[in-house]
Amino acid sequence: MNSEILDDVGKLILRLGFGVLFLMHGINKVVHGIDGIEALVVSAGLPAEVAYGVYIGEVLAPILIIIGWHARIGALLTAITMAFAFHLAHSHEFFELTAHGGWQLELQGMFLLASIAIALSGPGRISLNGR
């Protein structure tokens, strides 16, 4: 197989895997609300309305990534969402390990790094943007 095709298939797998897993968090917030997020935002001294940004970061952005339409922008938005999550919800766990020796924020770290990888590499040719 041609290396360009493999590159595009790899980007597709990354986009689909990351996008679906991240979107599941957003769907949960659509179904169950964002009261917890709102409380975190307010406790950090930010206006409560900032919490609604989670819908952009966890619903709209992953959809953009999945379909490959402005995926770099979607990935940037998910990276910003993860930066907020690290700061607001997980800062106390930053230097902690799990009982099995893994980083406590493994999932959040993978989401952040995958977001950055998609933002830098783009969606590939198997996408709505096709580049």
Cα–Cα distances (Å) from 82 to 4, 9, 11, 37, 127, in that order, read 30, 25, 20, 13, 24
108-131 per-position pLDDT tens digit: 999 999 999 999 999 999 999 876
Question: What is the rounded average pLDDT of the residues 3-18?
Answer: 96
pLDDT bucket at 6, cuts 50 / 70 / 90: very high
> Cα separation of 94 and 84, whole Å?
13
Residues 6+ apart with CB under 8 A from 36: none
Q: Is the pLDDT of residue 48 over 80?
A: yes
Residue among 15, 20, 21 nearest 118 (CA) = 15
DSSP 8-state assignment for residue 94: T
> Cα separation of 60 and 106, whole Å?
23
68-111 per-position pLDDT tens digit: 999 999 999 999 999 999 999 888 899 999 999 999 999 999 99
* Residue 122 φ/ψ, nearest 5 degrees: 80, 175
Length in residues, the chain = 131
Alpha carbons within 13 angstroms on the beta-carbon side of residue 31 total: 6
Position 1 scores a pLDDT of 73
11-45 per-position pLDDT tens digit: 999 999 999 999 999 999 999 999 999 999 999 99
